Amino acid sequence: MAAGDGDIKVPGWRDMDLDVVSGKADVLAFDLDNTLALSKTRMDEVMARHFAALTHLRPVAIISGGRFLQFRNQVLAALPEDTDKTQLHLMPTSGTRYYRWKGDDWGQVYAHDLSDEDRKAAAMSLEKHARELGDWEEETWGPRIEDRGSQITFSALGQEAPVGAKEAWDPDNKRKDRLAAAVAADLPHLQVRSGGSTSVDISAKGIDKAYAVSTLAEILGVQVDRILFVGDRMDPDGNDYPAALAGTQAVKVDNPADTLELIRTLEPRLAR
């Protein structure tokens, strides 16, 4: 799947030859919400144990729209002591920031923050169009719009909404995609993309998961097509899709349980 080929169809992992996939996987990269864990929830113990085992087999990256604090709460707090943190690459806010283990804590390698003017314009456009489109919900759990510095994120039901409510809000992604298109027309110089189950993310143009995997490949000295990228939003409007277009070995999963089964299937192949 080379970049520039136009729209591509990303296969589910059961439709792939995993012997071939694992043989080309020099780096493993994952989305977070609804891939490694349910939206905004902590990675479960079984997933954490198998995810940690991967860090002893390959460099492992997490590239997701959430803030670094979300990575701490959902993943890092769940990982067992034997995790090889030196093999972990954390790229929150869709790769607009990058963190590595510094021996005693996580240190920021880079951050592509938006200007004050762009952050204000993004928040205003999101609220305006969400109200116009009927997406400014009365009942929410936490703030609808979050300024993450390098990314402005709209969450229709609030940042802390329960998983069930999120999943029911926009099951076919049409509401998020419609809002993203309206906001993109206001902000042509910024990247506007449908994010998680209820979210729209705004960041600097060209700084998305394609940028993240390309940067990671350069840092680790591998080709982009030697990165296996696993995500649940691999449709053309999804926030995992740019990683596929960048030329990674992209694999679609349905949910964390599906990801866990994939990891369990890959582990013995990666250990050969």
Annotated binding site for Mg(2+): 31, 33, 232, 248
Bridge partners of 98, per DSSP, are: 110
33 is catalytic: yes
Q: Which residues are annotated as a binding site?
A: 31, 33, 148, 199, 201, 232, 248
Sign, CA dihedral 193-66-241-135, equals: negative
The tokens of 17 are what?
A: 């030859």
Please, what's the largest Cα pairwise distance for the chain?
A: 55
CB 157 within 8 A of CB 198: yes
Q: Which ranges constitute the DSSP H helices of 114-162?
A: 116-132
Measured CA to CA, the distance from residue 63 to residue 240 in angstroms comes to 9
Catalytically annotated residue among 15, 17, 33, 113: 33
Q: Which residues are annotated as a binding site for alpha-D-mannose 1-phosphate?
A: 148, 199, 201
Q: Which residues contact 75 (CB under 8 A, 6 or more apart)?
A: 32, 36, 37, 43, 48, 51, 62
Task: Kindly provide the residue ranges of all beta strands, DSSP E only, lying in the chain, ordered along the sequence.
Answer: 27-30, 60-63, 88-91, 97-101, 106-111, 145-147, 152-155, 190-194, 199-204, 227-231, 249-252
Helix count (H) and strand count (E) of the chain? Answer: 9, 11
Neighbours of 77 (CB within 10 A): 11
Catalytically annotated residue among 5, 19, 31, 186: 31
105 is catalytic: no
Parallel/antiparallel/unpaired status of strands 97-101 and 106-111 = antiparallel
Q: Which residues are catalytic?
A: 31, 33
